[in-house]
Structure formats: C-alpha cells, structure tokens
Chain A
Amino acid sequence: DVKVTQSSRYLVKRTGEKVFLECVQDMDHENMFWYRQDPGLGLRLIYFSYDVKMKEKGDIPEGYSVSREKKERFSLILESASTNQTSMYLCASSLLGQAPYEQYFGPGTRLTVT
C-alpha cells in the first residue's frame, strides 16, 4: 500500500516567513509532485521531480522552490510567505513511465499566511 505523508496537516505562518513543507513516500517512486488546490481553480502544479536533485517547473512556480536530496523526500519551500500563498498544498508521487501513471496523493497541508 502506497503511503505519501506530509509533515503537517495545518500550518499558520506570518507574512515574510520562510516555510518548509515536507513530503515523504515509501514506494520507491521516481516522480514526485507539489500542487496547490484552490476553490474554483482546481489543482495547479507548482513543481515536479523525476529523480534525486532533478526538478522541473510546473504551471505556477513563482514564489516557490523545491528540494529533492533523497528519492523518498520532496520539500516545498516558500522563501518569503505571502497571503496569496494561503492554500491547500498537496504532494503526490508516481512511478516513472509506468502506465496508467497513477499519482498517489498525501493528505494535504492547509497553509494559512497571515
């Protein structure tokens, strides 16, 4: 059973703080993804990684960075949090090149920036 865990379910941070969101998967998946989910906008891809130390920008990378030092761990960093980054953040993982390319999601982190 694939398990994707995220470090916090709820987080409240102040404007300007540096924020770290951590994601760990236990199925040896190559691909890992960070999304944010907002009402009416659906899931939007921030960054993804298909290997250790590799990263690719998604649709909305501005204001975010990522780190993948180990295969099982993918971190999302908000360098200087702003109120428009208040959102639900979802991490996902999948096998590389394995149809149907199913993505497995973590429970999400609801981040509030005040």
Chain B
Amino acid sequence: QKEVEQDPGPLSVPEGAIVSLNCTYSNSAFQYFMWYRQYSRKGPELLMYTYSSGNKEDGRFTAQVDKSSKYISLFIRDSQPSDSATYLCAAPNTGNQFYFGTGTSLTVIP
C-alpha cells in the first residue's frame, strides 16, 4: 500500500463550481499535510498545508484533514479557469522525506 493515495481524475468542471480533491494516507505518524499545485510544464509549488486534524482556509481554498479516517481534502470554491492545474497531496515524515500522491488534473471550463 502506498503511503499517500490520491484520486487520479482527471476532473473537468464549469467555472464557478465547487471542486473537491481527495487523498488518503496510511501512516498515522504523519503530522503535516500539504497541497501542491503544478501548472503545465512547471514545477510544483506549495498551495497550503495543515497540521494535524482540522480545517485551514485561504481565500477560495480550504484544506481539511481527518486523522481518524486518514483522509485529506482540498476544496476550491468559485473555481476559476486559472485554477486549472494538477494538484498533488503530500505528507512529510520526520526525516524530511515527502510522500506524494500521484496528482489530480483539474480543468475549469469558462
């Protein structure tokens, strides 16, 4: 079983829709959970992270972690064409190595 698994998509939504991106993880020792965004032909960049369980909001983006079910989610409200990208969930271990999901490709149609 992979340390972090991600719904592969691809996902295609109309502009203004609410988007839900999801991952699960297997290692209960993970404390930090990240979401990276990767535009086409670019490197990933950190979008946001959460520590332990709970929600974190940043503008139209909300990251949610449920440690009891080992579930990670990213919600995008009022999605825009500029949100079209691949989204990667990730969790680091204490050795600073990252475990990445395979990524979900999102297209927001104007």
- Write the residues of chain A forming the contact surface with B, with a CB cutoff of 8 angstroms: 4, 31, 33, 40-43, 45, 48, 50, 90, 92, 94, 96-97, 99-108, 110
Q: Are B102 and A48 in contact (CB under 8 A)?
A: no
Q: A31-B96, A50-B96 are in contact. Are A108 and B41 (CB under 8 A)?
A: yes
Stretch in B11-19, B42-50, B59-67 with 4+ CB within 8 Å of A:
B42-50
Contact of A101 among B8, B45, B96, B101 (CB under 8 A): B96
Q: A40-B8, A102-B49 are in contact. Are A90 and B102 (CB under 8 A)?
A: no
Q: Are A101 and B43 in contact (CB under 8 A)?
A: no
Mark each residue of chain B from 1 to 28: 1 if its CB lies under 8 Å from any CB of chain A, else 0. 0000010100000000000000000000
**Residue ID in chain B nearest A58 by CB atoms:** B97
Rank and list the top 10 A-B pairs by shortest CB-CB distance, nearest first.
A105-B43, A42-B102, A101-B92, A100-B32, A43-B100, A101-B96, A107-B43, A105-B44, A100-B49, A108-B43
By a CB distance below 8 angstroms, the chain B residues around A102 are 34, 46, 49
Min CB distance A21 to B, Å, is 13
Min CB distance B50 to A, Å, is 9
Interface size on B, residues (CB 8 A): 23
Q: Pull 18 A–B residue pairs with CB atoms less than 8 Å apart, ordered by A.
A: A33-B98, A40-B8, A40-B102, A42-B88, A42-B102, A43-B44, A43-B100, A92-B43, A96-B96, A97-B96, A101-B32, A101-B96, A102-B46, A102-B49, A104-B46, A105-B45, A106-B43, A107-B42
Q: Are A103 and B103 in contact (CB under 8 A)?
A: no
Q: How many contacts A-B (CB < 8 Å)?
A: 55
- Write the residues of chain B forming the contact surface with A, with a CB cutoff of 8 angstroms: 6, 8, 31-32, 34, 36, 41-46, 49, 51, 88, 92, 96-98, 100-103
Contact of A100 among B88, B92, B97, B100 (CB under 8 A): B92
Give the complex CA separation of A73 and B100 in angstroms: 24
Q: A101-B32, A108-B41, A108-B42 are in contact. Are A43 and B96 (CB under 8 A)?
A: no
Contact of A94 among B42, B88, B96, B103 (CB under 8 A): B96
